[in-house]
Amino acid sequence: MLDAQFIREHPDLVRRAIAQKGTEEVSVVSSILEADERHRAAVTELQDIRTEANDEAKKIGRLMRDGEQKAARVAMANAGKLKSRAKEVEELVRETEAILNILLLVVPNIPHTSVPIGKSPEDNRVVKEYGLRPELDFDPLLHWEILEKYDLADFDRGSKVAGAGFPFYTGKGARLQRALINFFLDVAVEEGGYIEIQAPLVVNNASATGTGQLPDKEDMMYEIKRDGLFLIPTAEIPVTNFFRDDIIPESDLPIKFCAYTPCFRREAGSHGKTVRGLNRIHQFDKVELVQFVHPEKSYEALESLREDAESILKKLELPYRRLLMCTGDMGFTQSKKYDLEVWSAAQKRWLEVSSISNFEAFQARRMQIRYRPSDGSKLQILHTLNGSALAIPRVVAALLENNQHADGTVAIPDVLRPYTGFDTIG
């Protein structure tokens, strides 16, 4: 959420940012300015009433001491009127603040100046490509064919039990999933210095609002209406809300968490080869990295977080590319975002496996996560960042397709073998 004062001082910048994000809410800026003016007027009136009431209370005490009973009764009557009016204005302050906050929730974050202007994925900028794409001198199997051939996953039985997009992983497929989870966590903790936590798999409305899933992404989440909860689409939500309404000493920053969770997403209405197999499913495993940092360090932290995610792809020897997302494809909450995509040898296309984002103060202001400066000055809003390291399904897809041999076997990368307990599939 943007600060109302910032919008008041930079309305044209905010209008431009809204247009660049591709939303239709440019007119909301005028509504916010009007609501903000009404709210500030109500706050000012309430302060004036309280000041007058304090003066009247002092006056009553003085008149009583001086024995001026008649004048004291007049002052007491006036104090009663002020008290009644104060209650009315207090309600007006609450009402105008609520309206202002509702309006502020629909304003997207401001893109960083380094973010390319664009409207669609075609406008994203390829910043770097790493590694050589494998050249297979045979007709390679697609990963869903490998999964079926070696009984690594069962989509039909998963569909029978839960619905399309909820596969069973079996045998070496299940062990590969577990190996990747443990490997990703170990790298994050032992090399990245992250603190591992286990997070709830459901969140309440306040948590989803805090990270920006509400009111922007309701359609992608599974809702448990009876209990007012949502299944998490990413560990970002519970982990970032860990410090909601907290005050953190500046000396404790940065704080770095990693968490493995299943993730649940209602990927609606897509069909065809690009979403087949593990390319797009409703339940998947992911290791998430979350950082809470000093505002002056957040862009340095963004590059460090990105390197943490890329280091895993390098260890797995997966060719990948880094994209700097354009304004229109970046998302509602981000100020700057990278995507990492791995090459899929049989599908001959890039598959997204990670998004790394800086939200600046946008999420933290919604959640009121503040830090106490070491110099004793007033509390400040910190910055939050997160990134996938990594989402597992498309990593599995790329590993199976890129490491297959002409004899049908699939080699396990050296770094994973201590985790899987086997060197090959097939």
Q: Got the DSSP string for 305-354? A: HHHHHHHHHHHTT--EEEEEPPGGGS-SS-SEEEEEEEEETTTTEEEEEE
Q: State the catalytic residue, choosing from 266, 276, 280, 417.
A: 280
Active site residue 311: no
Do 110 and 2 meet the contact criterion of CB atoms below 8 Å apart?
yes
Q: What are phi and psi of 204, to 5 degrees?
A: -90, 180
Do 234 and 263 meet the contact criterion of CB atoms below 8 Å apart?
yes
Active site residue 394: yes
Do 243 and 367 meet the contact criterion of CB atoms below 8 Å apart?
yes
Name the 3-class secondary structure at 412: coil
Q: State the catalytic residue, choosing from 355, 365, 366, 370.
A: 355
Give the strand order in the sheet containing 283-293. 125-130, 320-324, 336-344, 349-358, 383-391, 283-293, 255-264, 195-196
d(CA 19, CA 24): 7
Angle between helices 172-190 and 392-402 (to 10 degrees): 110
Active site residue 226: no
Distances (CA, A) of 159 to 164, 166, 222, 283, 318: 5, 6, 17, 12, 30
d(CA 79, CA 74): 9
Name the 3-class secondary structure at 224: strand
d(CA 322, CA 126): 6
d(CA 233, CA 220): 8
Q: State the catalytic residue, choosing from 244, 311, 352, 417.
A: 352
DSSP 253: -
Active site residue 244: no
Q: State the catalytic residue, choosing from 265, 306, 322, 370.
A: 265
Q: Got the DSSP string for 68-122? A: -HHHHHHHHHHHHHHHHHHHHHHHHHHHHHHHHHHHHTTSPPPPPTTSPP-SSGG
- In residues, how long is the chain? 426
Q: In 10 A of CB 36, how many CB atoms?
A: 20
Do 36 and 4 meet the contact criterion of CB atoms below 8 Å apart?
yes
Active site residue 73: no
Could you identify the residue written with the tokens 């990134």?
387
Separation of first and last alpha carbons in the chain? 51
Distances (CA, A) of 280 to 18, 52, 230, 243, 266: 29, 64, 20, 31, 10
Q: State the catalytic residue, choosing from 360, 366, 394, 401.
A: 394
Kindly list the catalytic residues.
Answer: 265, 280, 352, 355, 394
